[in-house]
Structure 1
Amino acid sequence: MHMADMPRKNHEPDVSVIIGAYDAMPYLVRCLESVEAQTIGADRMEIVAVDDGSTDGTGAFLEEFAARTEIPMRVVRQPNSGGPSGPRNRGLGLARGRYVFFLDADDYFGEEALERMVAMGDRAGTDVVLGKIVGVNRGAAKSMWKETVERADLFSSNIKFTLSAQKLFRRDLLVRLGMAFDEKLKTGEDALFTMEAYLRGNGVSVVADYTCYYLVGREDRNQMTKKGGYTRRFDSARALMGLIAEHVPPGPRRDALMVRPFVITLLPQFGPGLVKQKPEVRERKMALAAPLMKAYWTPELGRHLKVDERLRLMCIAEGRLDLLLDIAAFLRDKKEPETVRRGNPPRPHLAYPHFGESSVLPDSAYEVTVTEWVGGRRIEAPRNKPRPSFARRVVRKARRSVLSALRAPRAHRV
C-alpha cells in the first residue's frame, strides 16, 4: 500500500501548516490564499494560526478566514511574545498532522508545494523535506537547489546553509525528541531547531524541481531578522556550535558542519564595517568570539573557506585585532588581492595585507583552497592529490582490506 493511501488515525491530517503572525497585513492575505490553493486538498491538511499580539487587524482576519475556509483551522490569539519562537511552539503543541510546516505570514506557497513535499517524505521515509525557496523582493540561498534528492548528505551537501524553519518536518520526530524553538534566543532560533532535526532525524530530502516557497521581502522591513544587537549573533553562534559539537565528534565531519556557524553567523560581525565601529565594540566582539575560536576552530576547518574568511578568523583566534582591521579596511575599500604562486609545486595565494610578513598569518593562510573570484577572474584550488572526503577514505580503506583478503593465499583465507 502506498503511504499516502494509508488510513490516517483519528482523521489526522497529512500536514499541519503552522502560521505565527504578528502585524502581517496585507501579506497574510496572499499567504492564506496560497494555503487554500494547495493541490493536496483541504481534507489532507489543517491550519494552526497564532496571532502574536498584532495591532493591525491580523487576528480578526485570521478568524474571518477560518470561518469561511474548508480547511480545518484553529486560531489562537495571545499577547505579543517578542519573537517567532513562542507562536511556533504554541502551534506545534496544537498540531495533529503527520508532518508540520512552519509558514511565515509574510510568505506564500507554490500551489503543489505540500503535495510534492509530503509525497517526497513518504517515499524517502525522511524526517525533514526541503522545498525549493525563491526570494521575492529579497535574496534567498540558491546553492542547495541544484538537484532533487531523496537523501542528502548533511556533511558534503549545501543543505547546512539553509537552516530557516520553512521546511516540512515529520511531527513524530519533533514529539519524540521533545523539540521546540528556543524562546531565549532572539535570533538564530530556527537554525538551532533545523540543525537538530538534520542531525537527529532519519534523513533529509530536497525537492528542487519545483518552487515550493516564496520568501517575501517586506516593504516596511518589519522582519525580526533585521532587528537586534550584535550580542544576539554571538548567542546564536554559541548555541549552534554547541549543538554540532554535542552530536558530531571532532574531525572532518564536524569541521564541515562548523563552516555554517563560523561563516554565516560569526564572520559578518567582523566584516568591512568593523573599521568604523567604536574601539569598545570591537574589543567586546573579540572577547565574545575568543572562547568559540578556542573551542571549535581548527586549521582543517580553515581549508573549507575563502582566503579572506580564513584570514579574519585566524586573526580573531590569535587575538590580533590590529591585523584584522587591516584586512577589514582592504575589503571595505574593495581592493583586489594580487594572485601569487608559491610553494612546490607552486600554488595560488591571494596577497591580502601582511602576506609574507607575519608569523601569525603564514603563507599557507593565504593559499586558495576553494574556488574564488577576484576581479571577475575565477581562481581554482589546485586539484593535484586532493584530500579524499571522509566517506571516500572509509570506502577506500574497506576496499583495500577486501582486496588484501582476496589476494591472500587460499590456505590463509578465513
Structure 2
Amino acid sequence: MSAVPDVTVVIPVYNTMPYLTACLDSMAAQTIGADRFEVVAVDDGSTDGSDEELDRFAAEHPGLLRVVHQANSGGPAAPCNAALEIARGRYVFFIGSDDYFGPEALERMVDRADELGSDVLLCKMVGVNGRKAPDVFAEDVADAPFPTPELAWALSNTKLFRRELVESEGLRFPEGMAVCSDVPFTLRAMAKASKITIQSDYDSYYAVKRETGGNLIYSTGPVEWVHAAEQIVAAIEDLYGPGPEREALMYRVFSREIAKCVQPQFLTADKSSREKFWEAVAGFCDAHLTEAIRERLPTEKRVRISLAQRREWDRLEDAIREDAPRFLIEDGRVFVRYSGFREGCPDSWYEATAERVIGRLAKGIDPVDLAWAGDRATGFFLEYWFRVPVAGLEPDAVGVSAERLVKAKGPAARRSVPAGEFHVHDVAAEVELRPDGDTTVLAARLPLGDLAGTAGRWSLRGHLAMGPFVYDLPLTAVKGPVERQGRPGNVSVDWGRKSLIVVHSSGKPSLKRRVANLVGLKPSRK
C-alpha cells in the first residue's frame, strides 16, 4: 500500500451480522486497486460475532483492513471519530456496516472527485429490502448548489469527503446523539465545501434495510429523535441566517426527524411514556415551528404535528391511527378528514393543496356489487358499484372506463395525473353518484358492445378528479358472488392475485356460432 492511499473507507460496526459479511466482501471486490485504498473498521463492543468476523476478514486480507476494538459507546459517532484519528486517505468515505458497495464504486468516485476538484461527492444510492434512497440521483451534477430543497434530504455521511476539508474545519461527529449524529457533520462539510458533486452514472452504494428492522433509524424513540433534531437545528442556525437556505433545512427537520416521532409504532407504549413523547414534540414545535413550514407540510404530517403542538393527545393518537381517512371536496378545495376536522382546528391544517393523496384514497375504496345486465335487443352491460371515501364529488369529477391491456400484461398500477393531462380510457361507462354521508357510492354501467366485438382484455378502472390531480385506479373484485344472468356468451370477467378486475372478450363469434345461437344448437367442435 502506498504511503498515502487515495481513500479511507470507515466502517462503524455494532451487531450487524450477517450483513457485515456482505459489506466486507464488497471491499475485497473493489476495482480501484489494493494500493489505492484502506478500510478502517471500528467495532463498538459488538456481542453478535461482528468482532470475530472483522478479525477473520483482516487475517484473510492482510493490509486491506485495520480493525479497532473498543467498548460500546452507544452510537456510531465515537467509532467514526476514532477512525478519523487514524485515517490516512486523501478522501474518506463512511459506509454503514449493513450496507455494501458496487465493485467499481471507489474507483469511479475517486476519479470523478479528482477530475472535478470536488470536496464532497454524493454517489448513487440504491435501496435494498424496501429502504429508500435520497431522490437526488436523476442526473450527474458537477457543481451542485447547497442547500437546496433536494439536497436538504441527503445529509447522511455516506459520501466521499476530501479529508483536507474535514481536518481544516475540525469536523467530528457529536457523540451525545442516539441517532442522526452524521447530519451535523455532513451539514457542516457541505456548507464549507467549495464544490459538491452528484455522481449518478453507477449504482455505487446499496443501502440495506435489515429484515428485522434493526437499523438505527427504525429503532429510535421520539425523545431521541427530538434531541437529534435540536442538535441539527443548532448546526443550521450556526451556519445560516434567516432566509430560504435556513428555511429549506428547517423544513426537512420537521418533515423527517419530527415526523418520525408521531408514527403508529409508538402507540404501543404506555400512556405515561406516550405523553412524554408527544410533549417532547410539542416543546420542539413551540420553539421552532413557523406557519410557513406548517403550511408546506403534507396533511398527514401537518395534522399530527399541529395536534401535538396543541397538546391534544387523544386527537393526535386518533389521527396517527387513521391510515385510510375520508375526504371532503368543497368549493374546489380538498380536505383530508383526520381527527379534529371542523372541531375547533383550522381548516388549513387539513387542506391538501399540491400533494397527491392516492395511497390514502385507494385504501378507502370499497367494492359493493358487480352484475351483468341487458339483453341482445337492448345491448349488454357490466354494472359495478363501489364506495369511495369522498363527499362533495360533482358528476363531472368521476368516471369509470375500461383500458385495453397489451398482450399478457396485467392492469396498470394506480396513478395520479395532473388534471389537464388525463384522458379517459378506451370504453367509458355511464356513472351515477349516490352521496351517502361522508362517502359516495358510484354506480357504473359499462356498455359491452365494443368490447364484445373485439378479442382482448380490459382493465376496469375508476378515476376521480380531486384538486389538481386525477386519480386513476384499477377496480377490485367484490367479495360476494357475481350475478351471471344477462352475460353475453363471449365476454367474461376474472381477477388475479391482487383481485383486480379484468374483462375478457373472445371477439365476434364465427358464422357457425351465430347460426347455432339462432337455432339453439351447439356447433361442432371440429
CA distance change for structure 1 residues 353 and 76 in 2, over 3 Å: closer, same or farther? closer
Bigger relative contact order, structure 1 or 2, given CA contacts below 8 A and separation 6+?
1
Indicate which of 122, 130, 133 corresponds to 2:122. 130
Percent identity between matched residues is 38
CA distance change for structure 1 residues 152 and 302 in 2, over 3 Å: closer, same or farther? farther
Determine the C-alpha separation between the residues in 2 that align with 1:130 and 1:92.
Answer: 19
Aligned to 1:69: 61
Q: Quote how far apart the aligned CAs of 1:262 are.
A: 0.8
CA contact (8 A) 1:305 1:369 kept: no
Aligned to 2:202: 210
Aligned to 2:234: 242
Determine the C-alpha separation between the residues in 2 that align with 1:24 and 1:59.
Answer: 10
CA contact (8 A) 1:371 1:378 kept: no
Determine the C-alpha separation between the residues in 1 that align with 2:97 and 2:159.
Answer: 14
Aligned to 1:335: 325
Determine the C-alpha separation between the residues in 1 that align with 2:266 and 2:129.
Answer: 28
Determine the C-alpha separation between the residues in 2 that align with 1:57 and 1:354.
Answer: 50
Q: Quote how far apart the aligned CAs of 1:258 are.
A: 1.1
Indicate which of 8, 13, 23 corresponds to 1:31. 23
Aligned to 2:221: 229
Determine the C-alpha separation between the residues in 1 that align with 2:98 and 2:127.
Answer: 12
Q: Deviation string for 1:133-171 (max 9, x for gaps)?
A: 222224122422222212333343422223322211111
CA contact (8 A) 1:16 1:100 kept: yes
Give the 3-state SS of the residue equivalent to 1:294 in structure 2. Answer: helix
User: What pairs with 1:227-306 in structure 2 (closer than 5 Å)?
Assistant: 227-272=219-264, 278-306=270-298
CA distance change for structure 1 residues 218 and 169 in 2, over 3 Å: closer, same or farther? same
Determine the C-alpha separation between the residues in 1 that align with 2:305 and 2:212.
Answer: 34
Aligned to 1:371: 355
Determine the C-alpha separation between the residues in 2 that align with 1:364 and 1:55.
Answer: 50
Q: Quote how far apart the aligned CAs of 1:113 are.
A: 0.8
Give the 3-state SS of the residue equivalent to 2:352 in structure 1. Answer: coil
CA contact (8 A) 1:15 1:98 kept: yes
Give the 3-state SS of the residue equivalent to 1:38 in structure 2. Answer: coil
CA distance change for structure 1 residues 39 and 327 in 2, over 3 Å: closer, same or farther? same
TM-score scaled by length of structure 1: 0.78
Moved over 6 A (4+): 379-383
Read off the aligned partner of 1:104 and give its amino acid letter.
Answer: G
Aligned to 1:144: 136
How many equivalent pairs are there?
A: 367
Deviates more, 1:373-382 or 1:314-323: 373-382
CA contact (8 A) 1:311 1:366 kept: yes
Give the 3-state SS of the residue equivalent to 2:256 in structure 1. Answer: helix
Which ranges of structure 2 fall in alignment gaps of 5 or more residues?
Answer: 363-414, 419-466, 470-526
CA contact (8 A) 2:316 2:339 kept: no
Q: Quote how far apart the aligned CAs of 1:232 are.
A: 0.9
Determine the C-alpha separation between the residues in 2 that align with 1:378 and 1:338.
Answer: 18
Read off the aligned partner of 1:185 and give its amino acid letter.
Answer: M
CA distance change for structure 1 residues 274 and 18 in 2, over 3 Å: closer, same or farther? closer
Aligned to 2:90: 98
Q: Deviation string for 1:297-353 (max 9, x for gaps)?
A: 112222322122223333333444454344334x24x22323333xxxx55444444
Aligned to 1:317: 309
CA contact (8 A) 2:261 2:281 kept: no
TM-score scaled by length of structure 2: 0.63
CA distance change for structure 1 residues 370 and 13 in 2, over 3 Å: closer, same or farther? farther
Name the structure where strand makes up a greater proportion of residues: 2
Q: Quote how far apart the aligned CAs of 1:99 are.
A: 0.7
CA distance change for structure 1 residues 97 and 308 in 2, over 3 Å: closer, same or farther? same
User: What pairs with 1:189-208 in structure 2 (closer than 5 Å)?
Assistant: 189-208=181-200
Determine the C-alpha separation between the residues in 1 that align with 2:71 and 2:304.
Answer: 43
Give the 3-state SS of the residue equivalent to 1:303 in structure 2. Answer: helix
Determine the C-alpha separation between the residues in 2 that align with 1:247 and 1:32.
Answer: 36
Question: Could you say which structure has the larger radius of gyration?
Answer: 2
CA contact (8 A) 1:256 1:304 kept: no
CA contact (8 A) 1:18 1:88 kept: yes
Q: Quote how far apart the aligned CAs of 1:266 are.
A: 1.0
Give the 3-state SS of the residue equivalent to 1:87 in structure 2. Answer: helix
Q: Quote how far apart the aligned CAs of 1:185 are.
A: 0.9
Deviates more, 1:107-116 or 1:283-292: 283-292
Determine the C-alpha separation between the residues in 2 that align with 1:103 and 1:110.
Answer: 12
Give the 3-state SS of the residue equivalent to 1:97 in structure 2. Answer: coil
